[in-house]
Amino acid sequence: MYYAMKIVSYTLSLYIAAAPASAHEDAPYVQYLGTGAADIHRPDHCECKNCSYTRAEGGRNKRRYSSLYAHPGVVIDFSITGMTSLEECGIHPRDINYLLFTHSHSDHFNVSALMELIAARGDAQPLSVFGNSTVVHLIKQHIESLETDIALTVTAINAFQDFVAGEWQCTSLAANHAATHEECLLYTLTRNGRSVLYATDTTWFPARTFFALQNKKLDIAIVEATFGPETEAAYLITHMNFHFNALIREHLIKKNILKPEGIYALTHLSLHYVAPYDKIHPEMLRQGMLIPHDGLKLTFD
């Protein structure tokens, strides 16, 4: 086990040092548009050690709402920090043709932000949106309230469904998150034998999701760790911590779901509960878990 962990840690440092994919533009990669949880504004006023550091230092310690770009063409989740994220990451709205939503919580989905994205795409092909029935209902309700035509196709999906988003083969998996009837979704995206898992928001995966993952070979696993070091049950009812992630990482490696050279990375990190990027990144890397910053690009080669 120790040997496998060492390999992953070593590969992680290589990937971080990797140059942007501009040398070979068509190579798939993923880029974190945002890495924060719902509390990204807490450092504006909170006097705790973590928030005070983030407020004073800024830079990689600040986080926008969690969102991921998968090149080419796909974005998972898009809320009010979405347009800023695209600009900061140098991605033109026209380059996004598919939008996948995990669930309707406001740090992941905002209908005005979606309309802003569509307007910024101009005359590009209609945007294709995939999401659960709650998200689809909210989008359709908004569109019906407008007088104009919107260049948009909306598809409702359930967990454990395969579908295509441009060059990516996608599978939806069940999350374990909402207190309501909403079916929150996780996704795997695969292109040319390269796969990424995007798992937020969720606490410990439902059994069916673990079983469905047994058929996957992942190059990159991105899993939420909202509450970082917290271990109280109350925190872990709808979100995960570092300990849950250590167990999931170990499981994915033991079952050969995460490839030996694969990357295990986190996302949806609370700025209040998780130590700032500067402070926590090196130690977590030693444990085989990559702490991301907004804009971080992960390549598959």
- Site residues (vs Zn ion, CB under 5 A): 46, 48, 51, 105, 107, 201, 272
Looking at the Cβ atoms of 107 and 219, the one nearer to Zn ion is: 107
Do residues 285 and 291 lie in contact, with contact meaning Cβ atoms separated by under 8 Å? yes
C-beta closer to Zn ion: residue 29 or 32: 32
H helix runs in 36-110, sequence order: 49-57, 82-89
Q: Which is nearer to Zn ion, 164 or 237 (CB)?
A: 237
Residue 271 CB burial class (10 angstroms; 0-12, 13-18, ≥19)? buried
Question: CB of 185: closest distance to Zn ion in angstroms?
Answer: 11
Least distance in angstroms from the C-beta of 242 to Zn ion: 17
Q: How far is the CB of 228 from Zn ion (least distance, A)?
A: 12
Nearer to Zn ion, 201 or 230 (CB): 201
**Which lies closer to Zn ion via its Cβ, residue 106 or residue 141?**
106
CB of 112 to Zn ion, least distance (A): 18
Q: Evaluate whether 239 touches 201 at the Cβ level (below 8 Å).
A: yes
Contacts of 25 (CB under 8 A, 6+ apart): none
Give the shortest CB-48-to-Zn ion separation in angstroms. Answer: 3
Contact 101, 73 (CB under 8 A): no
Q: What is the helix (H) or strand (E) element at residue 120, kind and residue range?
A: helix 111-121
Query: Measured between alpha carbons, how far is residue 102 from residues 76, 136, 214, 277 in Å?
Result: 7, 11, 21, 25
